[in-house]
């Protein structure tokens, strides 16, 4: 029954999001949230156990397989983007710039929130450091969807738009790296076992990726290719969930392996996954929203600190990134303002952390990041206008086929 | 086929590694997504292997499910297979939707009366034979032996209504594969579809009587009311769904497979919550769509073929994985006896009651009525859910019968169509 409820909620929201009721002229913030999928997050919060209670905690437990599938899918899509041939072509300053903006935000948020987490949770220092690191990882992530939409509509120079999208894509590596670190620290009784579990997730992903590359190698029929792709994604996410290791990391390893050894089928697999990307993402954010504890006042108290410190980190990190990148990449003057939008990967990180490190602290991390992501999404619109107002606009032809980086 | 065998073996190898790794972990997480992915992939490649061996793909789906499932190699945990119940409901709805699009008014007018008469005869004779045999086996069947005589009679009737059912899915798939066209093919398709309507009415009545026999009295008004609600309510809801589908197809015009999967899912889940028959809901929806807009019916057919492959592969592989092999040892001989008796009853009633104006019907029609698949699985699963005390054992018996029917049924259906002289080509790819 819970699956039907989720399905009906998503269907109703999809209709609402595509209807004229959400006219961007009349409700710009709501329309922006609907376009980014964060409206589904809010409705999840409203229907979840801590508010309306339409979906109970037990219902959410029953939806764990869907969550694992969503995280696995997100991981494989991220991994497929890590195409080694293209990554090798990027000059070193681009990596430095990505690390600068992500790292600055991380270091603005994580160390500052260790003490409040330690004081409000009463858990060990190691657990508080792991949780603060994850908050930092979520803060380090940015979404390039505003930039992509801006250059597609001709409001921003294409090179600059793609530059921002590239930086936001590369910061995913920072987020995933910190997730791995947080799981090493928090997912097992000792660090050695935690490291073993992260390695197991990566190994599982590599094996599934290699197998998926072999399975899809000679497939010509589109229906069969789609079936095998979906089956492969379910296999990697499901196996990780079954072994209680990270589905997201396993998915990334799977996608990266596939990108490395898949040859010509990679593009077809990516296209097949692209068809289910949006629905899976919407279901995932809806379920993440349902998991929020709205009455955790300590979490609410942490949100302003999280959002404010992240904003500062992004602004200063953006400046640093501009200095480091030099002429390797064309970027707008106020880069930091273009990096305020947080994107869906931050939600994936905290959802994964919550599944593998159960307890009050991981729940608090989820609460802070969920609310923070919505606030950041609302802030991102006005912030991005600052970027557009500062930079000269060289209108270009809309470029079809360029995906929105999250 | 060699490539498919290698891929299947590699998949099974990976599952073995995952299963071994789980043993080393103190606690296991949810196995449902793993079951879905593994059964989908194994099913797909096992279907290819089966096709290479000249068997229907469906047989491959079932057998690989049995092999990797909890009762054989044990690579997929039982909880994972049980978690796929939703997929079962979805698949039954999709099968019924596509079968419904074959129920055209012109076809019903042309052969309706003759088909209905023959169908009643075939179903009646088969039911009586299977009912007598099942009741006679009472001391040998574990789920009947402990029951009182009235309860055993009711359960025997319930089992027999399921045993009578045919397979529109397999028949439609074989007809598509062979591009068969003609009076014999039309008669066969109409008979399996109308036969399933008969079976559904009989099943609803038998389920009501069985419930009454376990609940200490027969509430005739309540029974008629529930049967009426299940039949007419299902048809009514199906008509509403048909209108929704037509509006969507005219207004949105994209992502039809995804929409149909979602709608079938809602029909399956919502239907069972409202005590409707998801099968009849989808069948009525399909029939109304095809009769209101023939082009829309064809589009649905094509769309379900696109979305159907993963759903059917997963459905049949999960059904195979759920097959309790230990119980099969006890009910296996009884299942084989019922298979033989059902085949004899169908053969006899076709020879005796088929219209004399077309001698092919008397000679070959019975071969097209042997297959059992989705509808029978759906009914067996319904028995299992509705009667938890004995239903799972009945499901085992029926799944054992289906396995046997799946091995021989599609081959016989093809032979019947070939013997009728209505096959145009056998080069098209099969979908069963």
- B399 part of a folded domain: yes
Tell me how far apart the alpha carbons of residues A73 and A255 are, in angstroms, rounded to a whole number.
9
pLDDT at A7 over 70: no
3-state SS track over chain B: CHHHHHHHHHHHHHHHHHHHHHHHCCCCCCCHHHHHHHHHHHHHHHHHHHHHCCCCHHHHHHHHHHHHCCCCCCCCCHHHHHCCHHHHHHHHHHHHHHHHCCCCHHHHHHHHHHHHHHHHHHHHHHHHHHHHHHHHCCCCCHHHHCCCHHHHHHHHHHHHHHHHCCCHHHHHHHHHHHCCCCHHHHHHHHHHHHHHHHHHHHHHHHHHHHHHHHHCCCCHHHHHHHHHHHHHHHHHHHHHHHHHHHHHHHHCCCCHHHHHHHHHHHHHHHHHHCCCCHHHHHHHHHHHHHHHCHHHHHHHHHHHHHHHHHHHHHHHHHHHHCCCHHHHHHHHHHHHHHHHHHHHHHHHHHHHHCCCCCHHHHHHHHHHHCCCCHHHHHHHHHHHHHCCCCHHHHHHHHHHHHHHHHHHHHHHHHHHHHHHCCCCCCCCCCCC
Q: What is the mean pLDDT of residues A75-92?
A: 82
What pLDDT is recorded for position B343? 95
Comparing A1-15, A343-357, B33-47, B221-235, the range with the smallest average pLDDT is: A1-15
pLDDT at B129: 95
Q: Tell me if B10 and A7 make a contact (CB, 8 A cut-off).
A: no
Is residue B428 situated within a structural domain?
A: no
* Residue B381: inside a domain: yes
Residue range of the domain that includes B12: 2-83
Burial class (CB in 10 A: 0-12, 13-18, 19+), A154: middle
Distance CA B133, CA A385 (A): 79
pLDDT exceeds 60 at position B430 = no
Task: Give domain status of residue B297, yes or no.
Answer: yes
Which pLDDT score is estimated for B411? Answer: 80
| Candidate from A11, A214, A239 with C-beta closest to B7 | A214
Which of B258, B273, B310 is nearest residue A230 as measured by Cβ atoms? B310
Q: What would the mean pLDDT of B408-427 be, rounded to a whole number? A: 80
Beta strands in A275-381 (DSSP E): none
How far is residue A128's CA from residue B158's CA, in Å, rounded to a whole number?
A: 60
The residue ranking higher by pLDDT, B359 or A31, is B359
pLDDT mean across residues, chain A: 82
User: Is the CB of A243 less than 8 angstroms away from the CB of B25?
Assistant: yes
B24, B54, B83 - which closes a domain: B83
- Structural domain count, chain B: 2
The predicted pLDDT at position A238 comes to 93
Q: How many CB atoms lie within 10 A of CB A349?
A: 29
Q: Can you read off the two tokens belonging to residue B6?
A: 């290698």
B117 and B259 co-located in one domain: yes
Q: Which of A234, A245, A279 to mutate to test the interface with B (most CBs of B within 10 A)?
A: A234
Please give the DSSP secondary-structure letter assigned to residue A21. G
Work out the minimum CA distance from B246 to partner chain A, whole angstroms: 17
Q: If you average pLDDT over residues B334-341, what whole number do you get? A: 91
| Residues of chain A contacting B14 with CB distance shorter than 8 Å | 207-208, 211, 235
Q: Which helix (DSSP H) or strand (DSSP E) does residue A296 occupy?
A: none
pLDDT of residue B216: 56
Where is A294: in which H helix or E strand? Answer: none
Kindly give, in sequence order, each residue whose CB lies less than 8 Å from that of residue A193, ignoring residues fewer than 6 positions away.
Answer: none
Integer Cα distance of A27 and A33 in angstroms: 10
Give the chain B residue whose CA is nearest to the CA of A213: B7
Lowest mean pLDDT among A235-249, B67-81, B222-236: B222-236
Checking if the pLDDT of B379 tops 90, the result is no
Q: What is the pLDDT of residue B249?
A: 82
Nearest chain A Cα to B48, which residue?
Answer: A224
Give the pair of three-digit tokens for residue B228.
């009426």
Q: What is the dihedral of CA B380, B385, B387, B389, to 10 degrees?
A: 110
CA distance A278 to A82: 20
* A215/B86 CB distance under 8 A: no
Query: What is the Cα–Cα distance from B177 to B172, expressed in whole angstroms?
Result: 9
Q: Which residue of B has its CA nearest to A356?
A: B29
Q: Which residues of A touch B275 (CB under 8 A)?
A: none
Helix H or strand E encompassing A114: helix A92-121
More confident residue, A252 or A150: A252
Question: Residue A294: how many CA atoms within 13 Å on its side-chain side?
Answer: 15
Contacts of A11 in chain B (CB under 8 A): 262
Query: Which residues of chain A are within 8 Å of residue B27 when distances are taken between CB atoms?
Result: 244
Give dist(CA A217, CA A225) in Å, integer. 9
Q: How far apart are CA A236 and CA A250, in angstroms?
A: 7
Interface contact flag, A224 B309, Cβ < 8 Å: yes
Cβ–Cβ below 8 Å for B30 and A4? no
Asked: is A36-390 a CATH 3.60.9.10 domain? The reply is: no
A233 to B310: CB separation less than 8 angstroms, yes or no = no
Q: ipTM > 0.90?
A: no
Cross-chain Cβ contact A64/B18 below 8 Å: no
Contact B30 A7 (CB under 8 A): no
Instruction: Confirm whether pTM is higher than 0.90.
Output: no
CA B387, CA B215: separation in Å to the nearest integer?
12
Residue A355 has pLDDT above 90, yes or no: no
Of A90-94, A180-184, A299-303, B302-306, give the range with the top mean pLDDT: A299-303
- Would you place residue B7 in the very low, low, confident or very high pLDDT band (cuts 50, 70, 90)? very high
Mutate to test the interface with A, among B19, B25, B30 (most CBs of A within 10 A): B30
Tell me if B109 is assigned to some domain.
Answer: yes
Tell if the CB–CB gap between B258 and A207 is shorter than 8 Å: no
Can you give the pLDDT at residue B431?
42
Determine, yes or no, domain membership for B430.
no
Mean pLDDT over B263-278 rounds to 79
Q: Per the CB < 8 Å rule, is B30 touching A208?
A: no
Say if B426 falls within a structural domain.
no
Tell me: do B281 and B337 sit in the same domain: yes
Q: Do B29 and A243 touch (CB under 8 A)?
A: yes
Max mean pLDDT range (A310-319, A333-342, A353-362): A310-319
Measured between beta carbons, the chain A residues lying within 8 angstroms of B86 are 3
Which chain A residue lies closest to B38 (C-alpha atoms)?
Answer: A235
Chain B: closest CA distance from residue A211 (Å): 8
Interface of B with A (CB under 8 A): 3, 7, 10-11, 14, 17-18, 21-22, 25, 27-38, 40-41, 44-45, 77, 80, 83, 86, 258, 262, 265-266, 269-270, 273, 305-306, 309-310, 313
Sign (positive or negative) of CA dihedral A368, A369, A374, A380: positive
| Mutation for testing the B interface, residue in A6, A65, A216 having most B CBs under 10 Å | A65
- The three-class DSSP label of residue A393 is coil
Nearest CA in chain B to A238: B34
Across the interface, which of B38, B83, B306 has its CB nearest the CB of A235? B38
Average pLDDT, integer, range A323-350: 83
Q: Is the pLDDT of residue B126 over 50?
A: yes
Q: How do residues A374-384 score in pLDDT, each as one tens digit?
A: 898 888 888 88
A-chain residue closest to B21, CA distance: A243
- Interchain pair B37, A236: CB under 8 A: yes
Q: Residue B108 and residue B249: Cα distance in Å, rounded?
A: 25
Report pLDDT for A108.
Answer: 92
The beta-carbon neighbor of A228 closest among B29, B41, B306 is B41
Residue A280: which of A338, A228, A348 has the closest Cα?
A348
Distance (Å, rounded) from C-alpha B63 to C-alpha A226? 23
Residues of A in contact with B18 (CB under 8 A): 204, 239, 242-243
The residues, ordered by sequence, that sit 6+ positions from A181 with a Cβ below 8 Å of its Cβ are A130, A133
pLDDT at res. A400? 42
* B239-268 pLDDT tens trace: 998 998 888 888 766 667 767 877 887 888
Q: Average the pLDDT over A5-23 and give the result.
A: 58
User: Which residue, among B2, B8, B17, B34, would best test binding to A if mutated, counting the most A CBs under 10 Å from its CB?
Assistant: B34
Q: How confident is the model at residue A337 (pLDDT cuts 50, 70, 90)?
A: confident
Name the closest residue on chain B to residue A223, using Cα atoms: B306
Contact state of B270 with A204 under an 8 Å Cβ cutoff:
no
pLDDT band at A395 (very low <50, low <70, confident <90, very high): very low
Report the chain A residue with the minimal C-alpha distance to residue B4.
A215
Confidence tier at B311 by pLDDT (50, 70, 90): confident
The residue extents of the domains of chain A are: 36-390
HSE (CB half, 13 Å, CA atoms) of B169?
Answer: 28
- As a whole number, mean pLDDT of residues B353-376 equals 88
CA distances from A235 to A69, A212, A248, A277, B232 (A): 9, 10, 13, 17, 41
**Does the pLDDT of residue B184 top 80, yes or no?**
yes
pLDDT of residue B10: 93
**pLDDT exceeding 90 applies to what percent of chain B?**
23
Answer whether A225's CB lies under 8 Å from A269's CB. yes
Position A401 confidence tier, pLDDT thresholds 50, 70, 90:
very low
Contact criterion met (CB below 8 Å) for A113 and A387? no
Q: Is the pLDDT of residue B318 over 60?
A: yes
Residue B272: CB atoms within 10 A of its CB come to 17
Given B58, B83, B108, the domain boundary residue is B83
Interface test with A, best of B1, B19, B29 (most A CBs within 10 A): B29
Q: Is residue B427 part of a domain?
A: no
**Same structural domain, B139 and B162:** yes
Q: What is the mean pLDDT of chain B?
A: 83
The shortest C-alpha distance from B264 to chain A (Å) reads: 11
CB B375 within 8 A of CB B279: yes
Interchain CB distance below 8 Å, B44 and A11: no
Q: B398 with B159: CB under 8 angstroms?
A: yes
Residues B78 and B90 in one domain: no
Task: Specify the pLDDT at position B37.
Answer: 93
Handedness of CA A194, A195, A198, A204 (dihedral sign): negative
The chain A residues in contact with chain B (CB within 8 A) are 1, 3-4, 7-8, 11, 64-66, 68-69, 72, 200, 204, 207-208, 211, 214-215, 218, 223-224, 226-228, 230-239, 241-244, 279
Task: Enumerate the residues of chain A whose CB falls inside 8 A of the CB of residue B28.
Answer: 242-244
Boundary residue ending a domain (B29, B52, B83): B83
Rounded to whole angstroms, the maximal C-alpha distance in chain B is: 70
Among A125-134, A228-237, B135-144, name the most confident range. A228-237
A228 contacts in chain B (CB < 8 Å): 41, 44
Residues B14, B150, single domain; the answer is no
Residue B185: give its domain's CATH number: 1.20.1530.20
CA distance A67 to chain B (A): 9
Taking contacts as CB-CB distances below 8 angstroms, the residues of chain A near B23 are none
For residue A3, name the pLDDT band (cuts at 50, 70, 90). Answer: low
């Amino acid at each position: 029954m819970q699956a039907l409820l989720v399905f009906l909620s998503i269907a109703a929201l999809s209709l609402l999001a595509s209807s004229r009721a959400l006219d961007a002229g009349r409700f710009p913030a709501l329309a922006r949230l609907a376009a980014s999928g964060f409206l589904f997050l809010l409705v999840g919060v409203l229907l979840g156990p801590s508010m309306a209670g339409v979906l109970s905690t037990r219902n959410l437990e029953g939806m764990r397989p869907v969550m694992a599938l969503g995280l696995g899918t997100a991981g494989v899509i991220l991994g497929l983007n890590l195409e080694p041939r293209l990554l090798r072509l990027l000059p070193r300053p681009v990596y430095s710039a990505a690390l600068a903006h992500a790292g600055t935000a991380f270091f603005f948020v994580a160390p500052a929130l260790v003490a409040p987490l330690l004081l409000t949770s009463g858990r060990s220092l190691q657990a508080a450091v792991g949780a603060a690191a994850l908050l930092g990882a979520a803060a380090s992530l940015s979404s390039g969807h505003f930039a992509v939409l801006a250059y597609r509509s001709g409001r921003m120079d294409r090179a600059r738009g793609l530059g921002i999208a590239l930086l936001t894509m590369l910061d995913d590596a920072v987020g995933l790296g910190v997730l791995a670190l947080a799981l090493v620290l928090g997912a097992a009784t000792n660090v050695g076992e935690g490291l073993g579990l992260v390695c197991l997730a990566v190994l599982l992903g590599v094996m599934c990726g290699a197998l998926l590359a072999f399975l899809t190698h000679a497939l010509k029929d589109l229906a069969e290719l789609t079936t095998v792709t979906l089956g492969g994604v379910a296999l990697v996410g499901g196996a990780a969930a079954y072994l209680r290791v990270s589905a997201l990391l396993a998915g990334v390893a799977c996608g990266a392996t596939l990108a490395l050894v898949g040859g010509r089928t990679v593009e077809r697999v990516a296209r097949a996954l692209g068809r289910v990307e949006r629905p899976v993402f919407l279901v995932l954010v809806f379920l993440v929203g349902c998991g929020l504890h709205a009455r955790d006042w300590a979490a609410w108290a942490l949100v302003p600190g999280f959002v404010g410190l992240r904003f500062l980190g992004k602004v200063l990190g953006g400046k640093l990134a501009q200095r480091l990148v030099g002429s390797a990449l064309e970027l707008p003057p106020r880069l930091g303002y273009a990096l305020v939008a947080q994107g869906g990967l931050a939600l994936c990180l905290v959802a994964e952390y919550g599944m593998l490190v159960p307890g009050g602290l991981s729940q608090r991390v989820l609460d802070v990041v969920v609310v923070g992501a919505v606030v950041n999404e609302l802030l991102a619109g006005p912030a991005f206008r600052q970027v557009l107002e500062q930079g000269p606009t060289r209108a270009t032809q809309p470029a079809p086929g360029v995906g929105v980086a999250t | 086929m060699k490539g498919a065998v290698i891929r299947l073996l590699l998949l099974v190898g990976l599952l073995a590694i995952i299963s071994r790794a789980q043993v080393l972990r103190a606690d296991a997480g949810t196995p449902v997504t793993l079951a879905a992915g593994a059964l989908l992939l194994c099913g797909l490649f096992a279907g290819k292997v089966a096709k290479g061996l000249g068997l229907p793909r469906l047989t491959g789906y079932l057998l690989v499910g049995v092999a990797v499932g909890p009762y054989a190699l044990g690579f997929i945990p039982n909880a994972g297979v049980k978690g796929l119940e939703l997929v079962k409901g979805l698949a039954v709805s999709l099968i019924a939707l596509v079968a419904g699009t074959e129920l055209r008014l012109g076809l019903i007018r042309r052969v309706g009366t003759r088909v209905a008469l023959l169908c009643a005869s075939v179903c009646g004779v088969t039911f009586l034979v299977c009912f007598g045999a099942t009741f006679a086996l009472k001391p040998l069947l574990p789920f009947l032996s402990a029951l009182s005589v009235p309860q055993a009679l009711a359960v025997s009737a319930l089992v027999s209504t399921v045993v009578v059912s045919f397979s529109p899915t397999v028949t439609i798939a074989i007809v598509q594969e062979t591009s068969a066209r003609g009076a014999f093919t039309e008669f066969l398709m109409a008979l399996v579809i109308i036969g399933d309507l008969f079976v559904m009415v009989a099943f609803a009545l038998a389920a009501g009587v069985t419930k009454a026999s376990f609940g200490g009295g027969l509430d005739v008004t309540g029974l008629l009311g529930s049967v009426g609600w299940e039949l007419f309510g299902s048809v009514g809801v199906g008509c509403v769904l048909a209108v929704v589908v037509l509006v969507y197809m005219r207004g949105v015009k994209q992502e039809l497979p995804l929409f149909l999967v979602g709608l079938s899912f809602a029909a399956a889940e919502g239907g069972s919550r409202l005590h409707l028959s998801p099968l009849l809901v989808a069948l009525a929806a399909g029939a109304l769509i095809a009769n209101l807009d023939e082009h829309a019916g064809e589009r649905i057919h094509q769309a379900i073929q696109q979305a159907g492959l993963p759903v059917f592969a997963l459905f049949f592989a999960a059904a195979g994985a759920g097959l309790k092999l230990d119980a099969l040892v006890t009910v296996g001989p009884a299942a084989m006896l019922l298979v033989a008796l059902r085949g004899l009853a169908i053969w006899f009633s076709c020879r005796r009651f088929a219209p004399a104006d077309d001698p092919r019907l008397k000679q070959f029609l019975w071969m097209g009525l042997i297959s059992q698949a989705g509808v029978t699985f759906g009914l067996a699963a319904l028995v299992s859910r509705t009667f938890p005390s004995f239903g799972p054992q009945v499901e085992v018996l029926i799944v054992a019968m289906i396995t046997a029917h799946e091995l021989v049924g599609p081959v016989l259906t093809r032979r019947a169509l070939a013997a009728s002289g209505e096959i145009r080509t056998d080069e098209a790819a099969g979908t069963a």
